[in-house]
Amino acid sequence: MTTHAPAHEIPTVEGRREPDYLRVTKGFMSWVTTLDHKRIGLMYLFGVTLAFIVGGIFAMLLRAHLWNPGPDGQMFSPQDYNQLFTLHGAFMVFAFIIPAIPGSIANFALPLLIGAPDVALPKLNLASFYLWLFGTVLLSYSAITNGLDTGWTFYTPWSLKSQTAVLSAGLGVFVIGFSSIFTGLNFLVTMHKMRARGMGWFQMPLFCWAIYASSVLQVLATPVLGITVALLAFEHIYHIGVFDPAEGGDPVLFQHFFWFYSHPAVYIMILPGMGIISEVVSTHSRRPLFGYKLLAFSSIAIAVISFLVWGHHMYTSGQSEFAMQAFSFLTVLVAIPTAIKMWSWVATIWGGSIALTAPMLYAIAFLVIFTIGGLTGVYLAALAIDIHLHDTYFVVAHFHAVMMGSTAIAFFAGVHHWWPKMFGRMYNEKLASIAAIVILTGFMVTFLPQFEMGSQGMPRRYATYSEQWVGYHRASTVGAMILGAGFALMVGYLLHSLIAGRKAKPNEWGGVTLDWKCPTPPNLYNFDDEPIAGKLYDYGPTLKR
Amino acid sequence: MANTSHDSHHHDVVVDHSHHGHVSTFQIFLRVYVTLCVLTIVTVAASQVDFGGANMLIAVLIASIKASLVVTFFMHLKWDTAMNNIAFLGSLLFLSLLFLFTLADFATRGMADPTQMSPIR
Amino acid sequence: MSHATIVTPTPEGGFQPHTVAHHFKTAEQEFQAAKFAFWLFLVTEVMLFGGLFAAYIYYHGFYPKSFQAGGSLLDWRLGALNTMFLLTSSWTMANGVRCSQLSRRKEMVVWLWWTVVLAGGFMVVKYFEYSGKFHHGIFPFTQVWHPEGHYGEVLAGVAFPKLFFNIYFTMTGIHGLHVLVGMIAIGWLIWRGGQGRFHSGWYIPVDLIGLYWHVVDLIWIFLFPLLYLVP
């Protein structure tokens, strides 16, 4: 775009050339029928936060249940406990973590970061949100009616026999799967075809590379989940026999199919988080990312390797010894690109001009917890050790370190980083810093005892436990309550900022990527003038320490 | 874009001639179609002969040749962008991983410990 | 950013112009985005059916005798007829797309009609195959399983014969659903094509639904030898 209308024709809206996307149209219908990626992103943000709160309440209830070893003096019956942890897992995995960052943060920020006016397929984007909503409603319906006691993994043959709402929950997962495919597909097309003039692949911010890698996984792996859940439903209703040993089927095949999706899915969860951390550490340390290309390629490497490792969930399921050894070897390979990322982030911060803002504090919490989660993953990849640790609290603590402690915290970092861009308002930074520290503390108090009791043999998914672990369990329960308080504080000051927060600066953090070069909040089609990509992460002359 | 205006009521209309797609010929489609028909006959004929364990391989091989003809010519992939080629071939690559590991598990069960052989086999 | 309205070149002869969506800079960008998106959608189709094929091969390995017995009860001549129906319809579709690219409206509509008719033929044959199986007591997905006469004899000695038929019904059922969706989509193309919506400047819907239709054919190319001529 080269020419502009004369100055006297430009409508003045608080010194802007165009009204921002929040005010350009008004009313409920203008939101629920919007095709604007930013509004869809905000609807996703609102939705996944609700799902997170529901899942979080389940988590706090089940931690409260485990205050006493039982069976006497516990809050719930063992059957209700089974439902609680299943619903906690199903909500957190399918309704929160998988859509959280792609649906909300990436939807908002990705087109801005590549200088595009919108995603490539805006209608598909809105469809993806409504599919997510429908799937989540189905999950909630299952929770309210019959509950679900199969674990979030729906393992056969129990899921065929269970009298709980396996079908409606399965349909919910199926539908959310399509939502996830639509999101991933949309981002891939957007990044391929909508980049700003002058933006080659290696001028793309690293958040985009991370979303690219996770989108590839969404497109390639999710259909297999779809067909698996469909077969499970046929099996449940019509007894077709594919997963039921009584009819000649093999439950191990279910596990192969399930983890062919669900292992790549854990990278669908973590990769976007890694992308956020890349942007945050660079912006808030005012240094270009160290090893840009390595970071970009390590995202792709993680995506590819993630398809080769699913069997490490099945070490005790009866798959062949050969397959277990192969999967064990391949799983350890994931540590290489992951470690590259860790080193790059640390090297980026090192010598930078660090601002301990709220997003940066969350990013630092991510770096600490992800190190724990990543390294314990290497232990669990080792076949012999995993036979001992399989299905213990060690595993629970490991995947909470990478899902809750890393992905969810990266999500919070992203929310805090782009919040001023989203709403043009700033939250109370002091409260935000306190919340970040409370959440980090709560995480450690909750999960470090779980690592310890897991290594001592405390099995996961048990409603009762032996006296020897009372102290660990109680510490963990206290930690969960601290986490809950931290989240409540965060939701509180974020909502407060919308009403009474100070007006955000046009470029609150002094960011140099394209998202900070459009008005705050952005226009309906984002930029005043067509953006042209320049040198990436160009903070000018580096400050000497 | 040659010309723009900030007034949304008076859009300029620009005819954009930039658009290209490959147009194939009737002859190519006809030849591919005839080849596909012949290969269908070959499929049936090959299934009537006992090649021992190789029948599955032969059936899948012929089907793959037919499929690649459809993809290359009917679906224009031969003339399509590199990325569309990579996307489609990539899906086959990742699908082969599902086949490879699932079948590797199945085929090697009980090799180290015969008691772990699947009882229903 | 506000935009000029971009239209694609529209040939003479009653064709309707196409306006490029607001967020694209050029018609080429819109075309390539739509096409890449659709290839990615086809990738998901490949992965979805791939899971079913993996299940087929897995259980073929478990129960080769049952699969051979089950496959011998399917009529390969009907399967071959259906293969010809779909191959031919794939060819007519390819020609339909070609005519849309060349702005030959009437020819395009005729080719698309042939495609729908052949797809209908496929579904009719499928109907007779399914009802023939039901007639002999072989039902999809139920506990009501009482193979009669010749069927009972062939299946008597093999392990879990139901598994083969359930995989057969699942695979061909999901495939048949895709055929139906394709027929509806091509019907829509005939309707809009008759209005002159598709021409050398804008034929992407014909192109994309054509791609979909070829994938439906592609899957059947594998289903036919694996189910009807069980190796």
Contact A94, A103 (CB under 8 A): no
B116: contact with A, CB 8 A cutoff:
yes
pLDDT in the model for residue B38: 97
Query: How many CA atoms lie within 13 Å of A510's alpha carbon, on the beta-carbon side?
Result: 14
Question: Under an 8 A CB cutoff, do A240 and C166 touch?
Answer: yes
Instruction: Tell me the domain boundaries of chain C.
Output: 38-228
pLDDT at B121 over 60: no
The tokens for A368 are: 């600490």
List of chain B residues whose C-beta atoms are within 8 Å of the C-beta of residue C57: 99, 103
Low-confidence ranges of chain A (pLDDT < 70): 1-14, 542-545
pLDDT at C220 over 70: yes
β-pair type (A502-503, B13-15): unpaired
Contact C9, B14 (CB under 8 A): no
C-alpha dist (Å) from residue A341 to A140, A299, A370, A511, A532: 37, 9, 11, 21, 28
C-alpha dist (Å) from residue C60 to A465, B93, C164, C168, C226: 44, 22, 8, 12, 10
The proportion of chain B whose per-residue pLDDT surpasses 70, expressed as a percent, equals 82
Instruction: Tell me the domain boundaries of chain B.
Output: 24-74, 79-105
Residue type for C72, please? S
Q: Collapse the DSSP code of A398 into the 3-class scheme (helix H, G, I; strand E, B; otherwise coil) and give the result.
A: helix
List of chain C residues whose C-beta atoms are within 8 Å of the C-beta of residue B82: none
List of chain A residues whose C-beta atoms are within 8 Å of the C-beta of residue C4: none
List of chain A residues whose C-beta atoms are within 8 Å of the C-beta of residue C23: 116-118, 120, 122, 194, 525
Contact A277, A363 (CB under 8 A): yes
pLDDT at B5 over 70: no
C-alpha dist (Å) from residue C127 to C121, C146, C183: 10, 20, 16
Give me the interface pTM, i.e. the ipTM.
0.94
B55-90 pLDDT per residue, tens: 889 999 999 999 999 999 999 999 999 999 999 999
pLDDT in the model for residue A2: 40
Residues 6 or more apart in contact with residue A468 via CB below 8 angstroms: A456
pLDDT in the model for residue A178: 96
The proportion of chain C whose per-residue pLDDT surpasses 90, expressed as a percent, equals 79
CB pairs under 8 A between A and B: 69
pLDDT in the model for residue A14: 64
Looking at the partner chain, which of B7, B83, B91 has a beta carbon nearest the beta carbon of A5? B7
Residues of A with CB under 8 A from a CB of B: 1-5, 9-10, 17, 192, 220, 224, 245, 248, 250, 252-253, 256, 260, 307-308, 310-311, 318-323, 326-327
* Omega before A521 within 30 of 0, i.e. cis: yes
For residues B82 and B77, what is the distance between their CA atoms, to the nearest angstrom? 9
Question: Under an 8 A CB cutoff, do A228 and C37 touch?
Answer: no
pLDDT in the model for residue A541: 72
Looking at the partner chain, which of C43, C76, C87 has a beta carbon nearest the beta carbon of B36? C87
pTM above 0.90, yes or no: yes
Please, what is the end-to-end C-alpha distance for chain B in angstroms? 67
C38-228 falls under which CATH superfamily? Cytochrome c oxidase, subunit III, four-helix bundle (1.20.120.80)
Question: Under an 8 A CB cutoff, do C98 and B16 touch?
Answer: no
pLDDT in the model for residue B119: 46
List of chain C residues whose C-beta atoms are within 8 Å of the C-beta of residue B36: 87, 90-91
Å between B31 CA and nearest CA of chain C: 10
C126-169 pLDDT per residue, tens: 999 999 998 888 887 766 778 888 888 888 888 888 899 999 99
Å between C41 CA and nearest CA of chain B: 10
Q: The tokens 């100070």 sit on which residue?
A: A502
Q: B-contacting residues of C 66-125, CB under 8 Å?
A: 76, 80, 83-84, 87-88, 90-91, 93-95, 98, 101-102
Å between B114 CA and nearest CA of chain C: 16
Q: A-contacting residues of B 33-92, CB under 8 Å?
A: 83, 90-91
C9-21 pLDDT per residue, tens: 899 889 999 999 9
pLDDT in the model for residue A51: 96
Question: Under an 8 A CB cutoff, do C226 and B14 touch?
Answer: no
pLDDT in the model for residue A442: 97
Phi, psi of A197, rounded to the nearest 5 degrees: -55, 135
CA A289-A293-A296 angle, to 5 degrees, is: 90
| DSSP, res B4 | -
Contact B58, B42 (CB under 8 A): no
Topology of A33-517 in CATH? Answer: Cytochrome C Oxidase; Chain A (1.20.210)
A406-436 pLDDT per residue, tens: 999 999 999 999 999 999 999 999 999 999 9
Question: Under an 8 A CB cutoff, do C43 and B14 touch?
Answer: no
pLDDT in the model for residue A72: 87
